[in-house]
């Protein structure tokens, strides 16, 4: 999952001529992550976040990189470290604007990281919160494909676990793909990830 997240997250990032120092720094951070240097990327983003307090993107990507890093980790101490770092970064932006759909999706992903690391401990604590966050993210931005896909993907995991019908979630995955194909980012480095994961999920639905 970690490799798939990385591939799709970086798919649409170009590293052509930067238009500003901010974009140059963001491009360098994304390149470091692409090279597998997650810690270096996160550290650089922290410096950018300190200098660019009006942009939510650096802290968003600190949260994103650290959350993605948690998937597949076996060491629970390391999982706690990266997820807490992700949460601390996201808390800064949540305090500024709790109605940003992408921030809410990211919060749902952090909670999902906890659930994935230890379902018995965190499943009951966070599962309902994950769904509520995705619902709010969709209500705020109905055209946000990550909000639609994230909820459907999470619910499919639960449906498979309990042996219930996944057809409604698969329909939502199909809808998310339509939204991905229409989606246009509002600014450089705005989140664009997710289409490849949705297409993979669609394949699983069609089996």
Write the class of the CATH domain 2-205. Answer: mainly alpha
Q: Once rounded to an integer, what is the mean pLDDT over residues 147-158?
A: 95
User: Model confidence over 5-38: pLDDT tens digits?
Assistant: 544 444 444 444 435 899 999 999 999 999 999 9
User: Model confidence over 159-173: pLDDT tens digits?
Assistant: 887 788 899 999 999
Domain ranges of the chain: 2-205
Give per-residue burial for 151-176: e unless 16+ CB within 10 Å, then b: bbbbbbbbbeeeeeebeebbebbbeb
């Amino acid at each position: 999952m970690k490799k798939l997240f990385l591939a799709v997250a970086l798919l649409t990032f170009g590293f052509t001529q930067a238009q500003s120092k901010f974009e140059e720094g963001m491009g360098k951070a994304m390149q470091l992550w692409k090279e597998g240097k997650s810690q270096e990327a996160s550290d650089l983003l922290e410096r950018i976040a300190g200098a660019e307090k009006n942009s939510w993107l650096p802290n968003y990507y600190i949260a994103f990189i650290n959350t993605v890093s948690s998937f597949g980790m076996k060491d629970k101490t390391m999982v706690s470290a990266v997820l807490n770092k992700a949460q601390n970064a996201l808390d800064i932006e949540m305090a500024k604007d709790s109605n940003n759909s992408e921030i809410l999706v990211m919060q749902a992903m952090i909670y999902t990281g906890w659930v994935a690391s230890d379902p018995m401990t965190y499943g009951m604590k966070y599962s309902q919160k994950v769904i509520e966050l995705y619902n709010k993210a969709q209500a705020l931005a109905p055209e946000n494909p990550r909000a639609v896909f994230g909820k459907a993907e999470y619910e499919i995991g639960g449906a498979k676990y309990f042996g219930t019908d996944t057809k409604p979630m698969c329909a939502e995955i199909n809808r998310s793909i339509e939204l991905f194909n229409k989606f246009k980012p509002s600014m450089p480095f705005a989140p664009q990830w997710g289409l490849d994961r949705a297409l993979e999920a669609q394949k699983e639905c069609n089996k």
